[in-house]
Amino acid sequence: MPVVASDRERRRGIIYTFTAYLLWGVFPLYFLLLAPTGPWEIVAWRIILSFVFCLLLLTVTRTWGKLRAILRQPRLLGLTALAGILIYVNWQTYLVGTLSGNVIETSLGYFINPIVTVLLGVLVLRERIDVMQWVAIGIVVLAVVVSVVAYGEVPWIALILAFSFGLYGLVKKRVGPAVDAVSGLTLESFWLLPIAIVELIVVGVTSGLTIFGYGAWHAVLVLLAGVVTAVPLLLFASGARRVPLTVVGLLQFVTPIMQFIVGVAILKEPMPPARWIGFGLVWVALILLIVDSLRTARRERAAV
């Protein structure tokens, strides 16, 4: 009986995690529907509405006690504030990239992210990695160099996305199970409220707020930004604790693959030969990383 329950939880975890990555993969299409609302206004509403949605969730699920317990721990509050800043940088960069016709480069950032995670493990957590992982890191560095030489500029959008989300994951790892998914997202959104308010004021004074200026359907789409932001994050948090890290690592490639398909096939963004070479190098590095992860997992199971 416990085995059946365990298998059921594992299947649920895979479904939750896959759904989260799938939703993140089609995000470009949703945010493009919000035009002419710009990236700064979208992120501001995203923060405010995510916070409101989380407050509703805390009320419905009656988990205010968990939040109050976290509020009594200054270390956890500091880590949630840091996580909030990092996810803000990630959101803002992603929106700027998506709405400026750089969806393919945003997908490159999330392709690079697993390599950045490994690198942060070495530099920050002092983890030891094998030769194949070092080779994967070297190949990604080569891919960035190819992009710089080909375009004459650093792929800043991809690099900022990769490092901001990698650091966000590192902070979440430091927090651990002490902060549940809903309370964590509530606090991260709360710390960002001043930034969101300032952004709305600046946008309102300069170009003008657009949320209610383009019809009821447009207003509804913008108001859904909070739910659209929170749902995949909560699905991911629920799924990731039910499945092994290797499964999460393999599923995470769903997001950049979907974004790449959207950018190339739907939005028709240019893919010159140099860009194909850069992506090809990153994909080779990821294949090495996946093979190495599977080999390590198999070796650990055999040892058990």
pLDDT (tens digit, 9 = 90+) per residue, 163-205? 998 888 888 878 877 888 889 889 999 999 999 999 999 999 9
What are the start-end ranges of the H helices in the chain?
Answer: 2-25, 27-33, 39-61, 64-71, 74-99, 103-123, 131-151, 156-175, 181-206, 216-223, 225-240, 245-251, 254-261, 273-303
> Would you call the peptide bond into 36 cis, given omega within 30 degrees of 0 as the criterion?
yes
Q: Please give the distance of CA 212 from its chain centroid, rounded to a whole number.
A: 28
Closest CA to 151 of 232, 245, 272: 272
Q: What is the pTM of this model?
A: 0.84
Of 163, 162, 87, 170, the C-alpha closest to 127 is: 170
Q: What is the mean pLDDT of residues 281-292?
A: 82
CA dist., res. 61 & res. 55, Å (int): 10
| Model pLDDT for residues 76-128, shown as the tens digit of each residue | 999 999 999 999 999 999 999 999 989 989 988 888 887 887 788 778 877 77
Residue ranges of domains in the chain: 2-303
28-37, 121-130, 230-239: least confident range:
121-130
* Per-residue pLDDT, 197: 96
Is 263 within 8 Å of 275 (Cβ atoms)?
no
